[in-house]
Amino acid sequence: MKIAVLSGKGGAGKTLVAVNLASVAKKSTYIDCDIEEPNGHLFFKPQAVREEEVAVLIPQVNHDLCDGCRRCIDFCRYNALAYIKERLIVLAELCHSCGGCNLVCPQNALAEIERPIGKIQTGISDPVTVKTGFLNIGEASGVPIIKQLLAGLETTADSLTIIDSPPGSACNVMESVKEADYCILVAEPTIFGVHNLNLVYELVKLFNKPFGVVINKCLETENPAEKFCVENNINILARIPFDRELGLLNSNAEIAVRKKEEYREKFSALLNTVAKEVRHEAAAYSQR
């Protein structure tokens, strides 16, 4: 079972939910796809960390062979190539690694070389396997890192994978939810919270994913996020009350369910609710 945890903006409680959900399972994998600012590992403090580099292929020019015909430039729809002062130049950050320029070059002047864009760390915080993606600063797209993070995941019914998605609704986020069986949208009970919730709500609808909402920092007062969910017929999985102790644990990068039984019970209940939803979806699907 693969569950993606999303929010329209950072700070809504996405990492809180993802980290604690992963921690209540008997065994789980937590994957931090928030590659520009991964922070789940700060909570888990994983041990025995292995690191692998993530690279993309970009063209490299052999200037002796290149005759300046510019066919590669005309081909590249991302405009990642230019011909300046009798030399072909590659704008590495714009290249999408399609390999097309290489194919169209009549002089065989292009070869592919690896360009590192980030890394993946894998470690253990028993019983959670923690995988974290890091995108190098200044890189435009982290999609290749997210692809590699999610490649070759186990998909047995009783294995749990929690995917901590990047905030927002850009292509990084889409990549992170593609493989998920279920999406949890984390929202704050404010007008801004509703705006951000709507962003990810549109996204999961687009991908036709089953989903539910967790409302974080709930007070007794009026709750626009709750109203939004009722109006749109969205399932509210849990309401996490505004709680100083929980807030403090979280801001100290502690995993609440490892500190207090009460929180363990609450997050276990949430995980059970989600598991039921997923089974229900699977059953409904097989009957279609």
Partner 1 sequence: MKIAIPVENKTLEANVSTVFGRANYFLIYDTEREESVFVDNLAQSSAGGAGIKAAQTVVDQKVNALLTPRLGENAADILEAAGIKIYQAINASARKNIDAFGDGKLSLLDEVHAGFHEHGDN
**How far, in Å, CA of 155 to CA of 181, rounded?**
10
Nearer to partner 1, 4 or 213 (CB): 4
Nearest-CA neighbor of 224 among 206, 232, 17, 168?
232
Is residue 63 near ligand SF4 by the rule CB under 6 A? no
Beta bridge partners of 238: 214
Report the partner that residue 180 touches, choosing among partner 1, ligand SF4, none (CB closer than 5 to 8 A by kind). Answer: none
Least separation, in Å, of the C-beta of 100 and ligand SF4?
4
Task: Compute CA 188 distance to the chain's CA centroid, rounded to the nearest angstrom.
Answer: 19
> Is the separation of the CB atoms in 168 and 8 below 8 Å?
yes
Size of the site for ligand SF4 (CB under 6 A): 27
- In sequence order, what DSSP letters do the residues of 49-60 get, joined into one string? EEEEEEEEEEEE
Please work out, in degrees rounded to the nearest 5, the angle formed at the alpha carbon of residue 127 by the alpha carbons of 186 and 49.
95
Q: Which of 107, 122, 268, 273 binds ligand SF4 (CB under 6 A)?
A: 107
> Is the separation of the CB atoms in 109 and 65 below 8 Å?
yes
Report the partner that residue 82 touches, choosing among ligand SF4, partner 1, none (CB closer than 5 to 8 A by kind). Answer: partner 1
- Cα distances (Å, whole numbers) of residue 94 to 58, 79, 91, 148, 170: 10, 7, 6, 20, 17
Q: Which stretch binds ligand SF4 (CB under 6 A): 12-20, 60-68, 114-122, 185-193?
A: 60-68
Q: Which two tokens stand for residue 258?
A: 């490892």
Nearer to ligand SF4, 105 or 163 (CB): 105
Nearest-CA neighbor of 216 among 183, 190, 248, 177?
190
Nearer to ligand SF4, 63 or 276 (CB): 63
Q: Which stretch binds ligand SF4 (CB under 6 A): 5-13, 74-82, 226-234, 269-277?
A: 74-82
Query: Could you list the residues that contact partner 1 (CB under 8 A)?
Result: 73, 77-80, 82-85, 89, 91, 93-94, 96, 140-141, 143, 170-171, 175
Is residue 192 near ligand SF4 by the rule CB under 6 A? no
Least separation, in Å, of the C-beta of 70 and ligand SF4?
5
Q: Which two tokens stand for residue 32?
A: 């931090």
Nearer to partner 1, 77 or 288 (CB): 77
The footprint of ligand SF4 (CB under 6 A) covers 58-59, 61, 66-72, 75-76, 78, 80-81, 88, 95-101, 105, 107, 109-110
